[in-house]
Chains A and B, each alone.
Chain A
Amino acid sequence: MEPFACHRGIAAPLLRDNVDTDAIIPSQQMRRVSKRGLGAGLFANWRYADVGARLPNSSFVLNQPAYAGASILLSGDNFGCGSSREHAVWALRDFGIRAIFAPSFGAIFRKNCTANGLLAGTMPAGRLSALASWVETAPQKNLLAIDLAAGKVTTAATEAAFDIRPADRQRLLRGLDPIAYTLTASARIDAFERTRFDACPWAKLP
Chain B
Amino acid sequence: MPERRTLFDKLWSSHCIETDADGEGLLYIDRLCLHERTGSIALAELAARGQSVRQPRHVFCMMDHVVDTRPGRSDATPVPGGEDFIRGLRRYAAQFGLRLFDVGDANQGIGHLVSAEQGIALPGLTVVCPDSHTCTLGALGCLAFGIGSSETEHVLATSTLRLDKPATLEVAVEGTLSAHATAKDLALVLIAEYGAAGGLGAALEFRGSAVASLDMEARMTLCNMAVEFGAATALVAPDEKTIAYVAERPYAPAVPPVAAWRTLRTDADAAFDHRIRIDASTVAPRVTWGTSPAQGVNVSGRVPPPRNSSDERALDYIGLQPGTALTTVHIDAAFIGSCTNARLSDLRLAAAVLENRRVASGVAAVCVPGSSQVKRAAEAEGLHRTFQAAGFEWRESGCAMCFYAGGETFGPGKRVITTTNRNFEGRQGPGTRSHLASPAVVAASAIRGRIASPEMIDA
Binding site for B on A (CB under 8 A): 16-18, 20, 22-23, 26-28, 30-35, 45, 51, 76-78, 81-86, 89, 104, 106-109, 111-112, 115-116, 165-167, 170, 178-179, 182-183, 185-186, 188-189, 192-193, 196, 200, 202-203, 205-206
Contacts and interface: CB of A to CB of B under 8 A. Distances in A.
Contacts, number: 175
Contacts of A109: 148
Interface in B278-310: 292, 294, 308-310
Given A35-B45, A107-B230, 11 more contacts: A17-B308, A22-B424, A77-B197, A82-B132, A82-B422, A85-B38, A108-B132, A167-B20, A185-B18, A188-B17, A189-B160
A108 B146 contact: yes
Contacts of B232: 107
In the A-B complex, the 7 residue pairs with the smallest Cβ-Cβ separation, listed nearest first, are: A28-B406, A202-B253, A115-B150, A112-B148, A167-B22, A86-B149, A78-B197
Contacts of B14: 196
A32 B81 contact: yes
Interface stretch (B123-131, B329-337, B348-356): B123-131
Contact of A28 (B30, B80, B257): B80
Interface in B184-222: 196-197, 201
A149 B68 CA distance: 49
A83 B84 contact: no
B430 interface: yes
B387 interface: no
Given A20-B424, A81-B230, A189 B196 contact: no
Contacts of B163: 111
B373 interface: no
B413 interface: no
Contacts of A108: 132, 146-148
A26 B51 CA distance: 30
Interface stretch (B151-159, B269-277, B364-372): B151-159
Interface residues of B, number: 77
Nearest to B41: A33
Given A35-B149, A111-B163, A26 B257 contact: no
Interface residue SS majority, chain B: loop
B245 interface: no
A121 B134 CA distance: 26
Contact of A30 (B37, B196, B230, B427): B37
A78 B196 contact: yes
B426 interface: yes
B115 interface: no
Nearest to B37: A30
A32 B38 CA distance: 10
Contact of A84 (B49, B147, B424): B147
22 contacts: A18-B294, A18-B310, A20-B422, A28-B80, A31-B80, A33-B40, A33-B88, A76-B310, A85-B38, A86-B130, A108-B132, A108-B148, A166-B22, A167-B22, A167-B24, A179-B158, A182-B158, A185-B26, A186-B158, A188-B18, A202-B253, A203-B124
B75 interface: no
B150 A112 contact: yes
Nearest to A201: B253
B319 interface: no
Contacts of A205: 57-58, 251
Contact of B257 (A27, A35, A202): A202
B313 A16 contact: yes
B85 interface: yes
B30 to A, nearest CB: 5
Contacts of B309: 16
A34 B88 CA distance: 11
Contact of A182 (B88, B146, B162, B197): B162
A185 B17 contact: yes
A192 B29 CA distance: 11
A152 to B, nearest CB: 19
Contacts of A18: 196-197, 292, 294, 310
Contact of A51 (B24, B58, B430): B430
A89 B147 CA distance: 13
A174 to B, nearest CB: 11
